[in-house]
Structure formats: structure tokens, C-alpha cells
Amino acid sequence: MMHKKTILITGCSTGIGLTCALGLKEKGWTIFATARKETDLQNLRDQDLNALYLDYTDQSSIDALVKTILEQTGGTLDALYNNGAYGQPGAVEDLPTAVLRAQFEANFFGWHELTRQIIPIMRKQGYGRIIQCSSVLGLVALPYRGAYNASKFALEGLSDTLRLELHGTNIHVIQIEPGPITSHFRLNALKKLKDNIDIEQSVHRDQYQQRLARGTEVDPDKADKDIFELPPEAVLSKLEKALDAKNPKAHYYVTVPTYIMGFARRFLPTQWLDAILRANGG
């Protein structure tokens, strides 16, 4: 009997995670799809996905998730796709340290804990793919995205180190770097801006108000839409390549801005690059 490949995908309530879970299911993968809210979990079940609860900020939920997967697979897992994350906007000087810490708990520390629990499984079976959904903002920084920038820069460094340390184990560490992707990400980020930043007392108040004004359209998928924006299927395509390639790349870029910024940070003088980032980050 042929082994049916298994993958754990986090952050499957909407957008990239949901699209990747459904797309790989169509390709014959056994999917473990996670979300936090019961309504999202039920939506995943309604689409015949194996829905499991995960809150990256809750150690016990990570422990329970890994235990459940091992019970259902008999102790194996072919691939992990860390995807669940959110963006906390705000100028660095306006970010309460507790808010920055919360960003890292969800976008970085939780990913690390889940990954380190999965690595022994892959070592024992002798193979595996650890795929991280990073961002163009793990390559370059934009103003007013300091918390998210920092979490993705940290993820890039940790993942690059892990790739070096796992060399020769047949466990591949891969990073996918999307640029603008159609999702509820911006809408959720605007809520975080209003919840956690003292807008009225900030010297950046005008910039915040402009961002809020651009993001108040009825359709959240069109709010603050980028001309280079692609649907989440673009990420699915790169994920499939990362999973199927005999020798996968360490990095897969998605969207034109990621390719441009990947080139620019290597070859442009810092002053030129900063000017471009300032113009595009307001």
C-alpha cells in the first residue's frame, strides 16, 4: 500500500492556509489543518479537512496538537508548514513592549516550539520538510511594520541556521517569501492598530489616520489593495514545488515585489533602498 503523505498546516482559517490545505488535499495529501476559533474549525470540518486546534501562544495547545497527530499517523509526519501569523502595525516608538512581545509569541516563539517538537519525529523517520511562510518583510523593512518586520527577520535568521544544522539529515528547511497576497491580513492588522496603539497621542497620528481611511472599504479583500497583489493560490504553487522537488530551494519568492526587493537589498546603496521603502511604506 502506497504511503499517503501527511502535512501539518497552521493558520487555516482563511487565506493562504485554507487555500494550501484544500489544494494539497486535492493532490492526495492527508492534511492536519489548524485554527483557533471554533467557527473556523467547523468550517474546515465542513470542507472535509482534519481540523485541529492550535494557539501558537499556548504551550499546552502545541503539546496536544503534536500528540494528536502522532496518534493519528502512528508516529510520522512528512511535512510541516508554519503559516499562522498576524501583523501588528505601529511606529516603533509607539509599540508597547508587551505588544511587541505578543507579536513574537504568535509569529516566532510558537513556530519555534512547534518546529522543535516536530524535528525529532522527522529525524526518527529519516526525512521531512519544514516550510516556513516568511514574507518580503523578512527581507526588507517597511515603516510602521516594525513588530512584523522584526518577527520575520528573526524567523529568517533562525530558519537559515536550522537549515545549516540539519544538513545531511534529509530534513529540508525551506522559506516561502510572499509579497502582497489577497487575504484578511490587512483588515486584521488595522484592528490591531486601533486596539494597541495610542493613535491620538502619537506624533504619527496623521499617517495612522491615512492607513485607517484606506482600509475601511466594505470588502476587506479589496481594502488597501496592492497593484501587485496575487491570490493565495500563488503561494500554494510555490508550496507544491517546495514539497515535490527532490532538492528544494532554500527560498521561494512569491509576487513581483519580493523579487524586486530581494534584488534591491543586495545591489542598491542603502540610501537608495531606504528612499524606495519610505515611499512605499506610508
Q: What average pLDDT score do residues 95-104 get? A: 98
CA 249, distance to chain mean position in Å, is 18
- CA nearest neighbour of 103 among 129, 137, 79: 137
Q: What average pLDDT score do residues 184-209 get? A: 93
Query: What fold does the segment set 6-182+229-280 form as a domain?
Result: Rossmann fold (3.40.50)
Q: Give the start-end residues of each E strand in the chain.
A: 6-9, 30-35, 50-53, 79-82, 128-133, 171-178, 251-254
Domain ranges of the chain: 6-182+229-280
Examine the pLDDT at 222 and tell me if it is beyond 70. Answer: no
**pLDDT at residue number 265:** 93
Alpha carbon distance 208, 195 (integer Å): 13
**pLDDT at residue number 105:** 97
Alpha carbon distance 119, 171 (integer Å): 8
**pLDDT at residue number 212:** 87
**pLDDT at residue number 4:** 86
Q: Active-site residues: which are they?
A: 148
Alpha carbon distance 112, 116 (integer Å): 6
- Residues of the chain above pLDDT 70, percent: 95
Examine the pLDDT at 225 and tell me if it is beyond 70. Answer: no
Examine the pLDDT at 219 and tell me if it is beyond 80. Answer: no
CB 189 within 8 A of CB 266: no
**pLDDT at residue number 217:** 45
Q: Which of these ranges, 42-51, 53-62, 189-198, 224-233, has the smallest mean pLDDT? A: 224-233
**pLDDT at residue number 1:** 44
Examine the pLDDT at 221 and tell me if it is beyond 80. Answer: no
Question: Can you give the pTM of this predicted structure?
Answer: 0.93
Alpha carbon distance 20, 32 (integer Å): 11
